[in-house]
């Protein structure tokens, strides 16, 4: 699974219809260029690939009255919506998810109903605890990493990561169950995208050929 695929679909969905530069601008606004592979070239390539695969519908639009070349606006198709929700659910569920994919899922989780997100995160905790139990069949944390020489530090790192990840996930579940945030079907969502022409305080400002598409 690729974080860029989930991020691009999510950004387009939040606009309804968006051209490539809007998607790039939003992802830089989210800081995705710092914690994922969401670089300009990857974003524009993903948009074109998703359109070829039937996930996005590409609308050719006329140039603005101010001049400039025509741009392509993208909109999720029914298939693209299904793919988006599938990727989003997977990002929140797998216990061994890459950090960039989990981060993307957290930024988009409010597109799902609250109860469903809680269920997905609970599944993540169960998977973590199950994996931890399998490791401790042959590695005893109480005896310390030295029992396996320096290689034991690998086990020690994995177990500490699993414990920390499980506790963080439980804390997140508690906040969501306590009413935090606005999820699908609950009212006006948090606006996490930039309006047309709005200045991006976190944009890189680096030009790319795809900005003109």
Residue 44 near residue 213 (C-beta atoms within 8 A): yes
Instruction: Between 30 and 111, name the one with better pLDDT.
Output: 111
Tell me if 156 is assigned to some domain: no
Q: What is the mean pLDDT of residues 102-126?
A: 96
Pairing label, strands 147-150, 18-19: unpaired
Beta bridge partners of 147: 149
Tell me if 180 is assigned to some domain: no
Per-residue pLDDT tens over the stretch 153-178: 888 888 888 899 999 999 999 999 99
Supply the mean pLDDT for the chain. 85
Tallying the residues shown for the chain, one arrives at 213
Confidence label for 6 from pLDDT (cuts 50, 70 and 90): very high
Tell me if 4 is assigned to some domain: yes
Confidence label for 65 from pLDDT (cuts 50, 70 and 90): low
Q: What is the mean pLDDT of residues 133-143?
A: 79
Tell me if 142 is assigned to some domain: no
Give the residue from 58, 39, 61 showing the smallest Cα distance to 208.
39
How many domains in the chain?
1
The residue to which tokens 């299904």 are assigned = 82
Per-residue pLDDT tens over the stretch 79-96: 999 999 999 999 999 888
Task: Give the span between the Cα atoms of 36 and 183, in whole angstroms.
Answer: 24
Tell me if 138 is assigned to some domain: no
pLDDT over 80 (residue 198): no
Give percent above pLDDT 90 in the chain: 48
Domain with 6 in it: 1-83+188-208
Q: What is the mean pLDDT of residues 141-151?
A: 77
């Amino acid at each position: 699974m690729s974080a860029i695929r989930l991020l691009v679909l999510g950004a387009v969905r939040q606009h309804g219809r968006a051209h490539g530069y809007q998607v790039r601008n939003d992802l830089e606004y989210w800081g995705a260029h710092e914690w994922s592979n969401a670089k300009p070239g990857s974003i524009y390539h993903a948009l074109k690939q998703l359109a070829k695969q039937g996930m996005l519908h590409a609308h050719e639009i006329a140039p603005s009255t101010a001049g400039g070349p025509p741009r392509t606006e993208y909109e999720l198709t029914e298939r693209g919506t299904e793919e988006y929700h599938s990727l989003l659910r997977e990002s929140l569920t797998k216990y061994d998810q890459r950090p960039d994919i989990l981060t993307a899922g957290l930024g988009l989780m409010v597109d799902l109903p609250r109860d469903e997100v809680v269920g997905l995160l609970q599944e993540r905790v169960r998977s973590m605890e199950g994996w931890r139990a399998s490791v401790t069949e042959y590695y005893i944390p109480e005896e310390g990493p030295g029992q396996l020489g320096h290689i034991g530090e690998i086990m020690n790192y994995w177990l500490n990561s699993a414990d920390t990840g499980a506790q963080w996930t439980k804390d997140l579940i508690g906040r969501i169950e306590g009413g935090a945030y606005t999820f699908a079907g609950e009212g006006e969502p948090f606006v996490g995208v930039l309006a047309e022409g709005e200045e991006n305080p976190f944009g890189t400002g680096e030009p790319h050929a795809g900005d003109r598409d």
